[in-house]
Structure 1
Amino acid sequence: MSLTRPAVPAFAAAPVAAVAVALAAVLTALSGRYGFHRDELYFLVAGDHLAWGYVDQPPLTPLLARISTEIFGSTPMGLRVISTITGAATVVVVALIAREFGSERRAQILAAVCAAVSGFVLGVGHMASTATYDLLAWMVISLFAIKLLRTGDGRWWIALGLATGIALQNKYLVVLPLAALLIAVLILGPRSVLRSWWLVVGVLVAAAIAAPNLWWQAAHDWPQLTVAGGISEDDGTENRIMFIPLQILQLSPFLVPIWIAGFLRLWRTPALRWAKPVALTYPVLCVLVLALGGKSYYALPLLLVLVAAGCQPTVDWVTATRRRTFLAVGLVLTALTSALFTLPVLPASAVNFVLPVNQEQGEQIGWPELVDDVANAWQQIPEDQRSRAVIFAGNYGEAGALVKYGPAHGLPAPASGHMSFYDWSRPADTQTGPVLLVELGRNPGYESNFNDCNQVGTVDNRKGVDNEEQGTSLVLCASPKSPWSQLWPNLRQFY
């Protein structure tokens, strides 16, 4: 049954589009600086092994990486074209969400600007990552859910099912905000939207789209659950301690008053009583993420929904108090600080300054240098033994870098037991020669599988960047202790 709701204001299409284009221009101008991120190197290889699933993720991001590089080139700039478009589209959807809450033209534009200058949108828009496409998916799902609540028209469940199904082909995290919204609606209503056959249709649509990946995961004993459990076990305590500070820092401290105003507006405004569960969804989601030991950014997309809701009261306050300059300065400071901490604007040698807040900046630096160092270590293997030798990388970033840059040095394709690399390639039992291990730190457990291991080099990114790979050990072992087919199960690494 449909409910009568006030019509939404006209959409400020032209200025919102201008904000999105400006964001795309900035992201494009900076997309070629530094280099590939470790995850991007992994996606490049995954894109060459297209499947319905991978150990640690569904198939959408590797597929988009393959499409982007096929069209625009296998460079950081070429890989990131679709990510840039996704970031721009996110800005437009945030403005559309503001419109659903009855925000007029100026508030819609402000919502677009706030999204465009926020640290989270800039950070994920800069790189190709599952979080990039996940953010847009959450925004689209939020838009459709808000339309469902505003109109009471059950047919929006079909759109929700379609968006959710596609989102599940990228990341399973989308189930968390949906679960939080369901809890909020059950607590506050309107429960009538749950008493509809359209809900069943929406669930079936989502299930049909997600089915191929779910089938793949089931056929492979649900490895993604193993990965998720390992992340929670390793990082859960730190994630919980840093949850609130990172929520504030990763979006922007300057946007805190706006999203608080948005929460209060949705919670208190009689005309928006239908949207009250949207406000409750955010704290419920935070509780779920904290309980699971998830990362702080898992809940960040819903803060953008609250920002969208808070733009109208912000515009009203600025108009009433004549503090336009105050707002403008705040937005400029947001843009500058967000760019500093999320975009490659600093010289690579100065990146250590931002690493305490955003470690991902450092993970875009030093991969060609790592391969240079591996190549130097490889030269220490006698030439007549190299045909039987193996390079074994400890993680998918190292393996991806060796796949990308190794051929120029005459290096063989690497082996690795990390994530889906384990499934893509395994050394033949005839490869009984030396093994060059690339290890973040000396790992006696790994080295116990090989004979006579000695460190022959250390990775240096030449820029003094204190990233994860800096100081990586290059260890040369005489040979594997057993045939690779017997060793391989011992070398699998899920996290």
Structure 2
Amino acid sequence: MAAVLAAVLVALSGRYGFHRDELYFLLAGHHPAWGYVDEPPLTPLLARAGAAEFGASPTGLRVIPALLSACSVVLTALLARELGAGRGGQIFAAGCCACSGYVLAIGHLLSTSTFDLTGELGVLLVTLRLLRTRDGRWWPVLGVVIGVTLLNKQLVLSLLLALLLALPLGLLAAHPWRELARRLRPSSAGLLLGPLLALFLALLICAPTLWWQATHGWPEVKVARVLGHVQGVSGRLLFLPLQLLQFSPLLVPVAIVGLRRLLRDDDLRWARPLALAYPVLCVLVLLGGGKPYYPLPLLLAVTAAGCEPVVRRARRSWRTLTPLLLLAAATSALAALPVLPVSAVAVTNAIDADQGEQVGWPQFARATAAAWTAIPAAQRTHGVLLTSNYGEAGALARYGPAYRLPIAYSGHMSLYDWGPPPDSDDGPVLLVEQADGQHRLERPFTDCHTAGRIDNGHGISNQEQHAEVVLCEGTHQRWSVLWLSLRQY
């Protein structure tokens, strides 16, 4: 199942085009650092490695996400085995993972969520092994897995906090007071040394990234606050429905069975914290203004717990369950994968906006180049190209050389740190404004007028469709002074 999933993802990887985040990762990969304002270094390094090894194309960039998703399928099957599933339950767990809309979506694109899913499933697997066996030799493994996952995203800290909060509740529910006290006695082997060793290894691995964040004023915290504000009240109200929709509504009953089993099955008392951690994590994410998909790795582990009883109860199980998985795969693929013609993306774009963000980048670069070449050649030598966001800058870095475009600057995310333009570039400024009509970007510039508009040619709604290409005569201040006001998250 893992191999089939990887093959399908690679086969469909070139159907549309780059996603805006992928263009940013490619650009960030050529500015290697121990951190960026919005992420740790691992995903940009994976983007650079994938492009170097398999080619700087959508297909080449997405080989690594396909392989990571295949690993996630295997880890889900191993989670089911850890929770007592036989061969049939393990296969069904692998199928649930491979057919989830969330897994298909992040397996199709290179994103921070792609490695995060694999890493968090690895953390959960080792944690369950520790809870079941109480074998202290797994503590160093847990520390290493946590440390590597932190090099990609700090979201695993929320998962660990939820598990820590759920652990005493789970143990208390599973054991009487005396038994609980006996298990937590200081004389228990590895009770203190094991967690301290895991903590030391995790900090050792991610120390350079933490140092980078500390010396730059913890910019990821600022970005998280901005994203939490963007979510708003409506995002919090739709938190659970969107989460289950992204996971796959057809697989939700299996997750419910898994929750019931973890809470009621005496043979799985040791794994009860897993069930309690899921609602705790949802509350933590809601309070922090996080996105609905953040708890989905934990929900996959809960679903793995439900696979064995579902297989056992289903009469002629595979005749019943195979159509369920095929239907889940078909509905998830329609929402998350580029299976429809580009002209039909408007239909799925309402469910998954990432579909539309893969359309129109070559047309975007072509329209920008047309406006740039309209500037007299003598003025272009001192001109500046400025974009609204990192996706636009990444697109011009990828497609711009074919049109002899200069380096595109932007104040968005880490691109701010790679500027400003030199003060000697005091010629005209070509801006790409967002399609919201606010014209915020052109305020620091003089004598601006529209020089063109972006059209992806398919009528697909995304952040660049109908955006304006604006030509300004110059700036009010030197770039070194003006740049301080252009940072945006």
Q: TM-score when scaled to structure 2?
A: 0.95
Residues 1:379 and 2:373 are matched in the alignment = yes
Deviations 1:260-318 (A, max 9, x none): 00010111000111111111010000000111111001011111101111100110111
Alignment match, 1:85: 67
Deviations 1:213-252 (A, max 9, x none): 0000111111111111111112232321221111111110
Which of 207, 220, 231 aligns to 1:211? It is 207
Counterparts of 1:341 and 1:397, CA distance in 2 = 22
Which of 463, 467, 471 aligns to 1:472? It is 467
Deviations 1:123-167 (A, max 9, x none): 111111100000000100000001011111233221111101001
**Following TM superposition, by how much is the alpha carbon of 1:480 offset from its aligned partner in structure 2, in angstroms?**
0.8
Deviations 1:108-127 (A, max 9, x none): 00101111111111111111
The one-letter amino acid of 2:427's match is G
Alignment match, 1:294: 290
Which of 457, 460, 463 aligns to 2:458? It is 463
Written as runs of structure 1 = structure 2, the 5 A alignment for 1:36-435 is 36-189=18-171, 192=184, 195-318=191-314, 321-322=315-316, 324-435=318-429
Q: Secondary structure at the match of 1:274?
A: helix
Counterparts of 2:324 and 2:310, CA distance in 1 = 12
Greater Cα offset, 436-445 or 459-468: 436-445
**Following TM superposition, by how much is the alpha carbon of 1:444 offset from its aligned partner in structure 2, in angstroms?**
4.3
Decide whether the 8 Å contact of 1:239 with 1:294 is kept in 2: no
Counterparts of 2:13 and 2:233, CA distance in 1 = 33
The one-letter amino acid of 2:277's match is T
The one-letter amino acid of 2:2's match is A
The one-letter amino acid of 2:291's match is K
Decide whether the 8 Å contact of 2:433 with 2:439 is kept in 1: no
Q: TM-score when scaled to structure 1?
A: 0.94
Deviations 1:41-85 (A, max 9, x none): 000011111110111100000111111111111111111111111
Structure 2: gaps (5+ residues): 172-179
The one-letter amino acid of 1:351's match is V
Of all paired residues, the percent bearing the same amino acid is 52
The one-letter amino acid of 2:320's match is F
Counterparts of 1:157 and 1:269, CA distance in 2 = 26
Counterparts of 1:444 and 1:103, CA distance in 2 = 58
Counterparts of 1:332 and 1:109, CA distance in 2 = 14
Alignment match, 2:174: none
**Following TM superposition, by how much is the alpha carbon of 1:169 offset from its aligned partner in structure 2, in angstroms?**
0.4
Counterparts of 2:447 and 2:254, CA distance in 1 = 61
**Following TM superposition, by how much is the alpha carbon of 1:323 offset from its aligned partner in structure 2, in angstroms?**
5.7
Decide whether the 8 Å contact of 1:53 with 1:217 is kept in 2: yes
CA RMSD between the two structures? 1.3
The one-letter amino acid of 1:175's match is L
Deviations 1:191-229 (A, max 9, x none): 738933100110011011110000001111111111111
Aligned length, in residue pairs: 474
Decide whether the 8 Å contact of 2:433 with 2:441 is kept in 1: no
Decide whether the 8 Å contact of 1:236 with 1:294 is kept in 2: no
Decide whether the 8 Å contact of 1:237 with 1:293 is kept in 2: no
Q: Secondary structure at the match of 1:57?
A: coil
Q: Secondary structure at the match of 2:421?
A: coil
Counterparts of 2:352 and 2:89, CA distance in 1 = 30
The one-letter amino acid of 1:173's match is L
Residues 1:450 and 2:432 are matched in the alignment = no
